[in-house]
């Protein structure tokens, strides 16, 4: 039976299908089963749909199969033992006695192993209330003997993992519970130990090495729970996660856990005392922070005078509302820091306006989160009592009963653009007198330019330098000297993207005409008498 949602097979159909496939396709069923298992894992990670805990206990079904396998092996060995035992041992060699002993001993061992695995597997799979996982959850409760039925126990852990769980290999860590091979309450954890060891053993003349990756958790009742990991990085991440959850727990690696676990009673007591002290210090610091902030500050009250606060209480809102009703204020706005959802809509703020035309009447505007550039709001005109009721609920992030509210379009004033800095004129008139004295002007008139031009002719100035307000049109006239009475005129001319620099020699009167005509755009350099230069002198 295949579920529509997610596409995975529920227990016990998954097992039934695997067995059926094996029966039909024998060995060839293995890749199909592996694919099916991968799909199962993808669509129902960690058994979320059936419950993490139940899924974990049912996985012990594989122990039943292993148990059966061991029992079958035990039966075979016992058969060998029985045959050997029935034989005449007169001519037996020592190897025959060894065979008899091994088959008898091995058979007994396999029988015990098979029986245990079969029993444990069947117990966990078919009787979850008796499972090791359920026992471990019970052992974490304050009064294990008063533990609720297994369904509730598992639901408790599942809820936490579903809401807050993070998974590291097969270990799930929630806010309150850790689900590994067994379950641990996080606040009971006192030791988190990472075992990452390479173990070596010799068998049949061969050296076999294996890497052991385990997370050992020790709780305040000094019980240890060990969970195996496949990937070392997942093991470390799980340990880091638990270290964040229980920062005061002892951390360690490899064999350190056994030293911690085997502490004597007085050492355990001392550790526990120290742990609790650190824990209470943290709690008091957190409480201190809570006192400082005096609440979550998740609502913003904005008054019409621009005053804002996030320290919003029901009494403050009531007071502001009263001020509004008495005419001292005209309204206010209550904006939650996260939109409030209700009735299939998302609301971003509640405006409270006093209707000037109707005494004692209050207009409430419940603004919806903008969609497609449209601002909509639900409006209700009510009296003080009605408004108070809505406001009190809104403070608790509750959407009021929307019966009687009308949908309206809200127009918000466009935001004023930031004033741009006025571009400063780059006009500049520099005058150098015949004496060498100089002056610069950034504000001047055309009359000043004309006077400067006249000054060049009558010898008052030896240099006039003029930059047009646009900043790139520039002209400079330098008076002649005893050797050459002609003036030197330098000027720019826009040439596409670039600015060309030109120079010419001319009599003072002509230079003066250029000085006055150039800013008006009457003349542009570049004619026959002009020489293009790279840059001004």
**Residue 535 exposed, middle or buried by CB count within 10 Å (0-12, 13-18, 19+):** exposed
Q: How far is 414 from 445, CA to CA, in rounded Å?
A: 41
Contacts to another protein by CB under 8 A: 45, 166-168, 233-234, 237, 240-241, 244, 292-294, 297-298, 300-302, 308-311, 335-339, 348, 418, 429, 431-445, 447-448, 451-452, 455, 462
Q: CB 167 → another protein: shortest distance, Å?
A: 6
Q: How far is 291 from 283, CA to CA, in rounded Å?
A: 12
Q: CB 441 → another protein: shortest distance, Å?
A: 5
Q: How far is 341 from 441, CA to CA, in rounded Å?
A: 65
Q: How far is 373 from 113, CA to CA, in rounded Å?
A: 71
Nearer to another protein, 241 or 384 (CB): 241
3-state helix, strand and coil shares in percent for the chain, rounded to the nearest 5:
45, 25, 30
Sign of CA dihedral 142, 144, 147, 149: positive
Identify the helix (H) or strand (E) that includes residue 489: strand 487-495
Q: CB 426 → another protein: shortest distance, Å?
A: 14
Q: CB 466 → another protein: shortest distance, Å?
A: 12
Nearer to another protein, 130 or 302 (CB): 302
Q: CB 1 → another protein: shortest distance, Å?
A: 25
Identify the helix (H) or strand (E) that includes residue 498: strand 498-506
Q: CB 115 → another protein: shortest distance, Å?
A: 37
Nearer to another protein, 251 or 348 (CB): 348
Cis ω before 12 (30° cut-off from 0): yes
Q: CB 463 → another protein: shortest distance, Å?
A: 11
Q: Which of 335, 330, 388, 321 is nearest to 355 (CA)?
A: 330
Nearer to another protein, 333 or 388 (CB): 333
Nearer to another protein, 147 or 475 (CB): 475
Nearer to another protein, 271 or 444 (CB): 444
Helix (H/G/I), strand (E/B), else coil: 167: strand
Nearer to another protein, 336 or 517 (CB): 336
Q: CB 32 → another protein: shortest distance, Å?
A: 24
Q: How far is 337 from 350, CA to CA, in rounded Å?
A: 12
Nearer to another protein, 349 or 492 (CB): 349
Q: How far is 313 from 321, CA to CA, in rounded Å?
A: 12
Q: How far is 442 from 429, CA to CA, in rounded Å?
A: 6
């Amino acid at each position: 039976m295949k579920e529509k949602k997610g596409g995975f097979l529920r227990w016990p159909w998954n097992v039934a299908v695997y067995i059926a496939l094996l029966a039909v396709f024998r060995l060839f069923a293995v890749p199909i089963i592996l694919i099916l298992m991968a799909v199962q894992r993808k669509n129902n990670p960690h058994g979320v749909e059936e419950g993490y805990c139940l899924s974990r206990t049912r996985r012990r079904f594989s122990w039943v199969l292993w148990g059966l396998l061991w029992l079958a092996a035990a039966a075979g060995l016992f058969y060998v033992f029985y045959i050997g035992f029935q034989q005449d041992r007169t001519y037996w060699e020592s190897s025959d006695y060894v065979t008899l002993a091994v088959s008898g001993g091995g058979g007994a061992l396999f029988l015990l192993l098979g029986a245990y695995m079969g029993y444990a597997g069947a117990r966990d799979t078919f009787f979850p209330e008796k499972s090791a996982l359920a026992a471990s959850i019970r052992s974490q409760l304050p009064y294990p003997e008063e533990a609720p039925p297994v369904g509730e126990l598992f639901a408790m852990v599942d809820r936490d993992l579903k809401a807050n769980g993070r998974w590291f290999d097969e270990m799930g860590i929630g806010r309150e519970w850790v689900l590994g091979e067994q379950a641990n309450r996080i606040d009971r954890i006192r030791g988190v130990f990472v075992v990452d060891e390479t173990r070596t053993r010799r068998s049949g003349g061969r050296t076999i090495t294996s890497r052991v990756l385990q997370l050992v958790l020790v709780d305040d009742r000094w019980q240890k729970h060990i969970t195996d990991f496949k990937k070392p990085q997942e093991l470390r991440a799980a340990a880091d996660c638990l270290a964040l959850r229980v920062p005061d727990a002892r951390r360690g690696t490899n064999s350190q856990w056994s030293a911690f676990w085997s502490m004597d009673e007085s050492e355990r007591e001392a550790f526990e005392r120290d742990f609790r002290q650190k824990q209470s210090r943290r709690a008091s610091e957190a409480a201190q922070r809570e006192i400082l902030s005096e609440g979550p500050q998740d609502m913003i009250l904005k008054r019409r005078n621009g005053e804002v606060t996030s320290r919003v209480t029901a009494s403050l809102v009531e007071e502001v509302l009263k001020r509004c009703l008495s005419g001292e204020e005209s309204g206010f706005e209550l904006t939650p820091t996260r939109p409030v959802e209700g009735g299939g809509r998302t609301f971003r703020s509640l405006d409270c306006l006093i209707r000037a035309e109707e005494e004692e009447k209050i207009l409430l505007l419940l603004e919806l989160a903008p969609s497609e550039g449209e601002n909509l709001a639900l409006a209700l005109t009510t009296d003080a009592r009605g408004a108070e009721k809505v406001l009190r609920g809104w403070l608790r992030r509750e959407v009021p009963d929307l019966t009687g509210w009308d949908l309206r379009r809200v127009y918000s004033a466009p935001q004023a653009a930031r004033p741009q800095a006025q571009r400063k004129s780059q006009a500049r008139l520099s005058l150098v007198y015949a004496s060498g004295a100089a002056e610069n002007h950034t504000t001047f008139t055309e009359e000043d330019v004309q006077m400067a031009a006249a000054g060049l002719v009558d010898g008052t100035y030896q240099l006039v330098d003029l930059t047009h307000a646009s900043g790139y049109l520039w002209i400079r006239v330098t008076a002649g000297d005893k050797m050459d009475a002609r003036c030197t005129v330098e000027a720019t001319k826009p040439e596409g993207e670039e600015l060309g620099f030109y120079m010419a020699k001319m009599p003072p009167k002509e230079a003066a005409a250029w000085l006055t005509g150039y800013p008006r755009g009457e003349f542009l350099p570049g004619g026959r008498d002009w020489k293009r230069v790279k840059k001004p002198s």
